[in-house]
Amino acid sequence: MTRLTLLLCLLALAGCGPANDGLALQSDYLQRLQRSLDASDFVAFDSRDISQYRLPPRRQRIVQIAELRIGLLDLVIDARRCPHLQQLISQRNSSLGKQLMPSQRLGYEGDLLRAIDACLPYLEDDSSLKTTLQQLASEKRQQLSAVFWNALNGSPEFEHYLRFADQALPVDTQEDSAALDALQRLASIGAALPAQLPPSAEQLEPLFFALYASEQGGQLITSLASLRHNLDAGSDLLEQRQQNRPLCPLGQATPRGRILQNIFVKFYAGGLQPYLAQVDQRGQQWQAALLQLQRIEGIPDATREYLLRLAGEQDSLWRDFQAATARHVKAWQNVLNSCGLAPGQAGWNSAEP
């Protein structure tokens, strides 16, 4: 089965995924929290807000690369002992070779440079072809970072993995380590250029395919955005109730305080918190790979800004998610402590299982 056919099959199956229980879990938790606090309605998460994390247009992410080629006739005459190099250049000059996919171009350039390095010892030191090949190799090495970024920015696989999804990560879903590993491997390949040549197209193809085969990249973006919104909404409910009408004004447990404690035990600690841990664990590896990518030489400005907006150390989706998580934990601590119902306090053990 060809690569294109596999991609089309995966696209057709994309609509057969699991129910959107990640968003349902968050919504149910917020509704229960709102009712237990007798609070006013909260602003529900609007999935249209995720459009701010849309990839920039491809034209802003593609680098223009000058074509560097050598005539096949010179190699036929002067490089008879370098048949592999002759074959690669012949392939590149063919009609199919001129239509290489960006990821295939990256693998081809690595193969070509390896073939040139292997051919040079067979050429006379004073030959014009040796000088030409050495110059060609030097110039192509300088282009490798641009070729790498075009391989990513011009590939439907990379775009698919970073395209936000309609669904959040499902609850208790099995981690798709293949896609995260592929993302990290691609980041390592780019960071090693040009000292270390890229692997062949045959070795690169499974990495790109792993990105396209995974729905979890886009689902992770949706999970981070929805959790950031919903955790902040929940923190608003807790903080406003504590400020305006404390649940336990005398610092002792009240019936409504115990109801809220049960919400904490059953629906936060027992439901939402494990999901938060799942998203956080997956997000840490994802964030590390995106940060490594944005440090690679030659990255287009639009791509760098986009990756930093997703996973940067400041003012990013990832940091906003972490801040919302920490704020929500603190809001719960303040309310439960004020009622003597926090873990470690005397009233904690009276919480219903």
Which residues of the chain fall short of a pLDDT of 70?
1-19, 70-79, 94-98, 350-353
The one-character DSSP state at 221 is: H
Q: CA separation (Å) from 275 to 23, 45, 168, 185?
A: 11, 17, 11, 27
Burial of 105 (0-12, 13-18, 19+ CB in 10 A): buried
Q: Which of 284, 288, 285, 304 is closest to 296 using CA atoms?
A: 304
pLDDT reported for residue 343: 85
Amino acid at 252: Q
pLDDT reported for residue 7: 46
Q: At what angle do helices 273-294 and 177-192 cross, to 10 degrees?
A: 20
List the chain domain ranges.
Answer: 17-57+159-171+214-350, 63-153+177-201
pLDDT reported for residue 99: 74
H-helix or E-strand spanning residue 12: helix 3-13
User: What is the rounded CA–CA span in Å between residue 109 and residue 131?
Assistant: 19
